[in-house]
Chain A
Amino acid sequence: MDFEPIYLSLKLALITTAILLLIGIPVAYWLSGKSTMAKIILEAFITMPLVLPPSVLGFYLLLAFSPNNGFGKWLYEHLNLHLVFSFQGLVFASVIYSLPFMISPVKSAFGHLPETLAQASYTMGKSKWQTFIYVLLPNIKASIYTAAVLTFAHTLGEFGVVLMIGGNIPGVTKVASIAIYDAVETMDYEAANQYALILFAITFAIVLAVFIFNKKAVKNPFE
């Protein structure tokens, strides 16, 4: 059995989660503040991947990344970035696709912190940044773990977006979910079963870990 697709899936999920932690936490914090029309619209956009068929997102990303069109052409000419049928393209698409899994839980956790926590820190002479690092972040740690793990698991399970913009290039864009599809297409059910079983086991272990980690919390970690 070829383990490369599994390795690629894990690599993609890890990189996507790392990038989303960096982008997602500040954006979630900003969104958790006073609600404005701009924030509501942005949040609606961020939530779209939850409800859109992945093929829709994949299709538009394909158009956007294509070196024949404006944005893709600019990326290619100025940054030498080729996002269609490349691993970088998969990372970019995965980040967009998994945005709501990182941002929603973290935003909700920030929103549930009593506002007096930050106020107490300000009256003690601490800046917004110090308050964020020493008071706010540590108190939503559990939500950040959950969000990171769910983002990771969700990226592992990606199929439609990957197929649309990455295709099926061995060692580059052929992740585990694509490998299953490919194996079934060529009637290689044994290989398909192996990939499927491994994906199932990894994902189940992750979700189980989240539930065990959150067992003290009353609510379901997906809420």
Chain B
Amino acid sequence: MSSEISEKETRKVAALARLALSDEEIALHRGQLARILDHVAELNSLDVSNTPETTHVLGLVNVLRDDEPELSASAAAIRESAPAFGNGHFKVPKVVE
């Protein structure tokens, strides 16, 4: 079995992933994705219709704790990490006209 992924589909995945890729990168990923998907297709030889999924290896569920305020990273340090900050907000290009 050989997986085939169209250029259009590759571009759609890149858009979903919010990744701007060059034409060369699209071509490269198209081929490599197909090759990896070919390899993982071996899982189709297993019938797991009655096997449960492993979501947490230790089987922990609903881990809850009291919501107690404590000191965390300083607002100043977080502001300083931002590429653009002003008036108490992270600045981004205009989203509404």
Q: Do A and B belong to a common assembly? A: no
Give B residues with C-beta under 8 Å from A. none
